Chains A and B, each alone.
Chain A
Amino acid sequence: MFKNKDKYLSVILISPSVIAILIFVYGFIGWSMRVSLSNWKGINPDYSWAGLKNYIALFSDPRFHIDIRNTLIFTGVFVIGSILLGFFMAVMLDQGLRGEGFFRSIFLFPMAISYIVTGVVWRWLMNPAEGVRMSGLNLLFSSLHLDFLVNKWYTTPTWGIAAIAMTAIWQMSGYIMALYLAGLRSIPNELREAARIDGASELKIYRHIILPLLTPITLSALIILGHTSLKVFDLIIAVSGKQLPLDVPAIYMWQTTFDGLFYGRGAAISIILLLSVAVLIIPYIRYTLKTGVEQ
């Protein structure tokens, strides 16, 4: 059916992109892995073999323990918060209210701006200063007589990272809402009508019909949010700079590599990050492509 000439041509035309991905994604990952197995520390490359030394050192490194704790707290708050908020916003907007388009645009607009802008603005909103220097949300709460809400935000010991997760929820929950809304809209109305005729309550319809049908969307949302939280970097930098209590692997990697010139350790952190992301993403790509073909 296809001419041979066209087959060769398509291979030739797609080659530059495939080669670029081959080098810049896979080749560079291999190169990073090699660096992570080396003693490279300093300006000049040093590929002398170190085995797993850099990895082993990380797992007994107190700073990396803080990173793992922070990543877990961030992921928990961010993923659960975004999914719950996104889902309820989608359900509310699916009720056919007037002004739906307006609300949808408002909830989604943070996706258009950068983590840096989000971080810079929220850092002033979450200003932890007390007493006469109080400002931002704390000042607002205090003047509304909601003093119990006044808190130290991202300077709270241990849980400060949850305040950053809240700004990430602000940024990404609209995206999750959009995913769920698209899912809700694809559920045929007859299904709900039939259940209503059978006497099911609205709550039961959501619990037993709608939620199960939205499972693929929840899965997508979990993967997207999960891998985003492993990569979180700009947002924390913009809110608080590089403070140890809010450290995460991506910041540690950047600092130890480009400020400390400890390339071997930086590469090891980056490979750990990559593997954590790959565990989520590879099954997801396979699953999506398989179901896509079946449709």
Chain B
Amino acid sequence: MNTKALRKNWLYVPLIALTIFYLLPMYVMLVTGFKSFAEIDLKTMWNLPHGISFENYIEAFAQLAPSLRNSFMMVIPAALISSMLGSLNGFILAKWKFRGADFIFPFILFGMFIPYQSIIIPLVQFMNTAGITGLPGLAMAHIIYGIPITTLTFRNYYASLPQELLEAAKIDGADMLGIYRHILLPISVPSFVVVLIWQFTSAWNDFLFAVILTGNTEWPITVALNNMAGSQIISWNVQMAGSLLAALPTLLVYIFLGRYFLRGLLAGSLKG
């Protein structure tokens, strides 16, 4: 037993090496962000800062604040609405079998995997013709293309609940909407957390829809950050600080609600 435990301790060597690999970008982002402008030099990028300075963050925030706001304004309604739709769809597909229900599920699911390039030309044409441009259009795209994954997660959750739960309510005379509202919704909170986190993260991190559907006053953070990084005028230390600002909302969600984030990931592989 002792030799076995000892042998296991060797595993910390590769594990720590991997930890360094995964944290390397975080280290550079943080260390660079807290250096003063005077200290910024690519040659000393691995060195710790001499003191704590917020100049880079202030500069990056001044540049990125409008697009951070745009992201929040677009992501919050998109996540809420697509989660509500997913919950309703999942409930119907899991518990109220009607003719064609088995066909509709994979039909919806396929939408989750398509490369969005294959719908982007019609999407732009459609949005322009319908006059839905900028952030509302972007939110709408995230809602619609979010339906497959939200439906999947809720369907799997509702399908795992015992049928007796519904039968009992039916005997008591509850109709379908009553069962949904009074029995399923209250116990769906964990699934809502999973789906909201998933939708928040993927809409926040999206670039393709954002770059094509929004103009420069409505850019969300990913597009603004990418343009900041491509510009020659803005120095790399500000870009590093900006990257951290752009990553912070989803990173905080991950740190505080990681368990639910993981469940969303596993659901996304269809295995949830």
Contact = CB atoms under 8 A, between A and B. Distances in A.
Contact of B11 (A18, A32, A92, A263): A92
Contacts of B104: 14, 18
Contacts of B254: 109, 111-112
Contacts, number: 254
A270 B92 contact: no
B118 A139 contact: no
A135 interface: yes
B88 A269 contact: no
Nearest to B262: A178
Majority SS at the chain B contact face: helix
Contacts of A238: 226, 229
Interface string B202-213: 001111100010
Interface stretch (B42-50, B131-139, B182-190): B42-50
A57 interface: no
Interface in B242-259: 242-243, 246-247, 250-251, 253-254, 258
A201 interface: no
A51 interface: no
Contacts of A254: 117, 208, 212
B117 A106 contact: no
Contacts of A124: 28, 45, 236, 239-240
Contacts of A77: none
Interface residues on B, range: 35 or more
Contacts of B126: 28
B88 A109 contact: no
Contact of B205 (A17, A114, A267): A114
Given A107-B18, A288-B270, A121 B240 contact: yes
Contacts of B162: none
Contact of A6 (B21, B115, B175): B175
A227 B269 CA distance: 12
B269 A179 contact: yes
Contact of B207 (A13, A106, A114, A230): A114
B115 A230 contact: yes
Contact of B247 (A9, A117, A220, A230): A117
Interface in B173-231: 175-177, 201, 204-208, 212, 222, 225-226, 229-230
A123 B117 CA distance: 25
Contact of B45 (A21, A112, A139, A221): A139
A260 interface: no
B119 A92 contact: no
Contacts of A274: 114-115, 117-118
Contact of B147 (A20, A122, A253, A267): A20
A281 interface: yes
Contacts of B207: 114-116, 233-234, 237
A118 interface: yes
B265 A135 contact: no
Contacts of A95: 8, 11
Would you list the 3 A-B pairs with minimal beta carbon distance, nearest first?
Answer: A114-B205, A112-B254, A135-B42
30 contacts: A7-B98, A9-B176, A10-B176, A13-B88, A18-B104, A20-B144, A21-B148, A25-B111, A28-B119, A28-B126, A31-B125, A92-B14, A97-B12, A109-B251, A111-B254, A111-B265, A113-B247, A113-B251, A115-B205, A119-B226, A120-B242, A124-B236, A125-B24, A140-B46, A178-B266, A182-B271, A231-B117, A274-B118, A281-B113, A285-B270
Interface of A: 2-3, 5-7, 9-11, 13-14, 16-18, 20-21, 24-25, 27-29, 31-32, 35, 45, 88-89, 92-93, 95, 97, 103, 105-125, 127, 133-136, 139-140, 143, 170, 174-175, 178-179, 182, 217, 220-221, 224, 227, 230-231, 233-234, 237-238, 241, 250, 253-254, 257-258, 263, 266-267, 269-271, 273-274, 277-278, 281-282, 284-286, 288-289
Interface of B: 8, 11-12, 14-15, 18-19, 21-25, 28-29, 42-43, 45-46, 85, 88-89, 92-93, 96-98, 104-111, 113-123, 125-126, 144-145, 147-148, 151, 175-177, 201, 204-208, 212, 222, 225-226, 229-230, 236, 239-240, 242-243, 246-247, 250-251, 253-254, 258, 261-262, 265-266, 269-271
